[in-house]
Amino acid sequence: MAAGYQVLREPLWNKGLSFTPEERKSKNLTGLIPHTIESLQTQCARAMKMIQTRQTPIDKYLYLSSLKDQNVDLFYRLVMDNIRELMPLVYTPTIGDVCLQYSSIYTRPEALYISIKQRKSIATMLRNWPFPNPEICVVTDGSRILGLGDLGLNGVGISVGKLALYTAAAGIHPEKTLPIVLDCGTNNETNLKDPLYLGLRQKRVSTTMQQEFMDEFMAAVKEVYPEMVVQFEDFETEKAFKYLDRYRNTQKCFNDDVQGTGAVVLAGYIGAVDLSGVPLEEQRLVFMGAGSAGVGVAKQLMEYYTRRGLSEQEARSKFWLVDTKGLVTRDRGDNLAEHKKYFARTDNNGLQFRTLEEVIAYVKPSALVGLTATFGVFTESVVRALKASVDGGGLGRRPILFPLSNPLTKAECTFEQAIQWTEGTAIFASGSPFSSVTVDGITYHPNQGNNVYVFPGLGLGAILAKASRVTDEMVYNSADALAKSLTADEIHKGLIYPRIERVREASLVVAREVMKAARRDGVSELPEEQWVEWEEWGDVALMSYIRQRVYDPVSFGDARVRL
Ligand SMILES: O=C([O-])CC(=O)C(=O)O
Ligand SMILES: [Mg+2]
């Protein structure tokens, strides 16, 4: 009977060899699969073996992607149990290569592909999505994918990758996730010339036209999936800020590159300041890169200062932003982009500083943050100058060095360089994962300051709180919760983020605090009695509510307890 075969062909129903004898009978599977019964763990062991036989990261990705297309439970169990090894394949850095080659490696649909030519039927397209009531959507227009620039439709890989982590790192059911690319053309000549390119073969439309398209898209989302949270991803800077401002007060949305990155860096910064020996008020931060991430991070860090009693003026004075033209100052004599104006310095006495070296000599920073998407801009002389300026402040002080651009090919410096040029003293976090480094018998462990520690929990918290908006308080508390989620052992090891194996545990804590923040801000639409009960029973009750709602594939025969 066909029904049995269909069960095996449907990735959300297929359990591979984990069907019980009863299921095999009732679903007419007898004979269609080998007689043996395996736990998910045994099936994972087979998959890991297969991954190890694949030579390149892309090949490994393709294997994983086809596994996801055959057996969703197996894919997620595998990623969750081997997150350190597999996250770099389903996410940054490999996902960057996947996006670059997306049109060449495409085999089957895995997202909603909405082009501006179809703008009149957005609601229909949303309704065509095969799974009912998605809870979270990651949408990109492909205009600034990681640090790789405009990739057009090919950028859809990042929506797919981020949503895989919503499931693996926060337990949102895979059926409830919706990846979307809005194709507004591309200015990427390589794509435009590629005969296999899947997107619109035209230059990007005007900003006015895209704005109208976005309005229509957001209105259609509100109409078709009013409960869904929208994560804006990898929109180029101006649009990132514009769309966030435009929709944040009326719809459930946030921007991962502005707010997610801001929150994750703040969480790491809180831990880093503790380790640095330089008190918070004495920290001086130089930001290389003044795009959506640079300004987003600086604003989030500023919020930390103001919550600790500094005036806005005092807090802002701790930040020096640098772009390709040098230190961002009011009197630099160029047309400063709107989003840079807030942090433009006015205390430079008419002096301008064109290179990062000049800025460091002038500012004498204690922390250097890179969000430039340019490999190697933290040169040996830059990093040594940073260390020297921190050493000048007193013995035992440590520089904070965050080269955060993704993927690894865009990192401002490598972990090994950071260790060598600072004699092992740097408190280091990068966006994509570096390996540990051993120098003179001492092994140093890098931190990965990636928004994967924030967006899954932030989204989950917003969904479970039934938040009508994603407020600043919710974002701030995601950072605060992450900073507090480290174990004593992690703190003892000098880490500033939880070990990646604990990302799911940390995400649930983030979700809990995001929910509470939504409640405080009056945007949670959960029944009042529910909140009263949690407020009476405390975090334990709320946490147990969260745990009961997360996806955690287990199978017959697995010797595991639920998270
Ligand atoms: O995707 C990542 O790894 C972090 C991120 O949002 C970006 O670099 O745009
Ligand atoms: Mg991004």
CATH number for the domain harbouring residue 9: 1.20.1370.30
Residue 560 has pLDDT above 70, yes or no: no
Domain membership of residue 346 (yes or no) is yes
> Which string of b and e fits 265-275 if b means at least 16 CB within 10 Å?
bbbbbbbbbee
Region 538-543: what's the mean pLDDT?
96
Q: What are phi and psi of 551, to 5 degrees?
A: -80, 130
- DSSP label at 256? I
Residue 562 has pLDDT above 60, yes or no: no
Domain membership of residue 88 (yes or no) is no
pLDDT tens-digit series, residues 421-479? 999 999 999 999 999 999 999 999 999 999 999 999 999 999 999 999 999 999 999 99
Whether 6 and 30 share a structural domain:
yes
- DSSP label at 525? -
Burial class (CB in 10 A: 0-12, 13-18, 19+), 100: buried
Catalytic residue among 27, 61, 68, 91: 91
Distance of alpha carbon 407 from alpha carbon 49, whole angstroms: 26
Task: Give the residue numbers spanning the domain of 522.
Answer: 454-549
Whether 335 and 437 share a structural domain:
yes
Whether 275 and 422 share a structural domain:
yes
Whether 57 and 98 share a structural domain:
no
Q: How many CB atoms lie within 10 A of CB 509?
A: 21
Distance of alpha carbon 26 from alpha carbon 469, whole angstroms: 45
Distance of alpha carbon 240 from alpha carbon 255, whole angstroms: 7
Nearest CA to ligand 1 atom 3: 92
Whether 432 and 355 share a structural domain:
yes
Beta bridge partners of 286: 320, 368
Spatial contact of 271 and 492, defined as CB atoms under 8 Å apart: no
The predicted structure's pLDDT at residue 556: 59
The predicted structure's pLDDT at residue 394: 85
The predicted structure's pLDDT at residue 557: 52
Residue 559 has pLDDT above 80, yes or no: no
Whether 370 and 272 share a structural domain:
yes
State which of 406, 408, 453 you would mutate to test the pocket of ligand 1, scoring each by most atoms of that ligand within 8 A of its C-beta.
Answer: 406
Residue holding tokens 């609601």?
123
Percent helix / strand / coil, the chain, rounded to 5: 50, 10, 40
Encoded tokens for 200: 């619109």
Beta bridge partners of 444: 437
Residue 409 has pLDDT above 60, yes or no: yes
Spatial contact of 530 and 549, defined as CB atoms under 8 Å apart: no
Residue 512 maps to which CATH number?
3.40.50.10380
The predicted structure's pLDDT at residue 543: 97
Whether 20 and 113 share a structural domain:
no
Residue 395 maps to which CATH number?
3.40.50.720
The predicted structure's pLDDT at residue 1: 46
- Residue 219: C-alpha distances to residues 59, 122, 233 (Å): 39, 9, 18
Ligand nearest to the CA of 410: 1
Number of domains forming the structure of the chain: 4
Domain membership of residue 187 (yes or no) is yes
Verify whether residue 484 is a known catalytic residue: no
- DSSP label at 524? B
| Stated length of the chain | 563
Domain membership of residue 562 (yes or no) is no
pLDDT tens-digit series, residues 51-110? 999 999 999 999 999 999 999 999 999 999 999 999 999 999 999 999 999 999 999 999
Residues marked as binding for a divalent metal cation? 233-234, 257
Confidence of residue 563 (pLDDT cuts 50, 70, 90): very low
Residue 26 has pLDDT above 90, yes or no: yes
Region 208-225: what's the mean pLDDT?
98
Using the 3D structure, point to which of 425, 451, 477 is the last residue of a domain.
Answer: 451
Domain membership of residue 496 (yes or no) is yes
Compute, in angstroms, the gap from residue 34 CA to the centroid of ligand 1.
42
Whether 426 and 483 share a structural domain:
no
Spatial contact of 158 and 182, defined as CB atoms under 8 Å apart: no
Spatial contact of 156 and 113, defined as CB atoms under 8 Å apart: yes
Q: Helix/strand/coil (H, E, C) string of 137-191?
A: EEEECCCCCCCCCCCHHHHHHHHHHHHHHHHHHHCCCHHHEEEEEEECCCCCHHH
Closest CA to 76 of 181, 5, 176: 176
Using the 3D structure, point to which of 220, 251, 282 is the last residue of a domain.
Answer: 251
Q: Is 255 in the pocket of ligand 1 (CB under 6 A)?
A: no
Confidence of residue 393 (pLDDT cuts 50, 70, 90): confident
Q: What are phi and psi of 63, to 5 degrees?
A: -60, -45
Q: Is 87 in the pocket of ligand 1 (CB under 6 A)?
A: no
Residue 17 has pLDDT above 60, yes or no: yes
Confidence of residue 218 (pLDDT cuts 50, 70, 90): very high
- Residue 309: C-alpha distances to residues 126, 159, 281, 306, 479 (Å): 46, 38, 10, 5, 18
Confidence of residue 363 (pLDDT cuts 50, 70, 90): very high
Q: In what order do the strands lie in the sheet with 136-140?
A: 112-115, 177-183, 136-140, 229-232, 253-255
Domain membership of residue 81 (yes or no) is no
Compute, in angstroms, the gap from residue 177 CA to the centroid of ligand 2.
17
The predicted structure's pLDDT at residue 554: 86
Whether 124 and 246 share a structural domain:
yes
Q: What is the ipTM of this complex?
A: 0.98
pLDDT tens-digit series, residues 544-553? 999 999 999 9
Compute, in angstroms, the gap from residue 316 CA to the centroid of ligand 1.
25
Q: Is 451 in the pocket of ligand 1 (CB under 6 A)?
A: yes
Q: Is 234 in the pocket of ligand 1 (CB under 6 A)?
A: yes
Residue percentage of the chain with pLDDT more than 70: 98
Domain membership of residue 84 (yes or no) is no
Using the 3D structure, point to which of 223, 251, 279 is the last residue of a domain.
Answer: 251
The predicted structure's pLDDT at residue 69: 97
Distance of alpha carbon 331 from alpha carbon 346, whole angstroms: 8
- Residue 179: C-alpha distances to residues 45, 155, 308, 551 (Å): 29, 11, 38, 18
Whether 101 and 242 share a structural domain:
yes
Whether 232 and 273 share a structural domain:
no
Which is more confidently placed, 561 or 340? 340
State which of 138, 150, 158 you would mutate to test the pocket of ligand 1, scoring each by most atoms of that ligand within 8 A of its C-beta.
Answer: 158
Region 252-257: what's the mean pLDDT?
97
Region 509-533: what's the mean pLDDT?
98
Task: Say which residues have a Cβ less than 8 Å from residue 212's Cβ, sequence separation at least 6.
Answer: 119
Compute, in angstroms, the gap from residue 153 CA to the centroid of ligand 2.
15
Catalytic residue among 15, 68, 162, 239: 162
Task: Say which residues have a Cβ less than 8 Å from residue 286's Cβ, sequence separation at least 6.
Answer: 320, 322, 356, 359, 360, 363, 365, 367, 368, 369
pLDDT tens-digit series, residues 143-195? 999 999 999 999 999 999 999 999 999 999 999 999 999 999 999 999 999 99
Domain membership of residue 560 (yes or no) is no
Task: Say which residues have a Cβ less than 8 Å from residue 302's Cβ, sequence separation at least 6.
Answer: 312, 315, 316, 318, 319
Distance of alpha carbon 85 from alpha carbon 526, whole angstroms: 38
Whether 269 and 411 share a structural domain:
yes
Q: Is 146 in the pocket of ligand 1 (CB under 6 A)?
A: yes
Verify whether residue 162 is a known catalytic residue: yes
Burial class (CB in 10 A: 0-12, 13-18, 19+), 105: middle
Residue 275 has pLDDT above 90, yes or no: yes
The predicted structure's pLDDT at residue 2: 56
Encoded tokens for 292: 């959506």
Encoded tokens for 440: 């003179």
Are β-strands 367-370 and 253-255 bridged in parallel, bridged antiparallel, or unpaired? unpaired
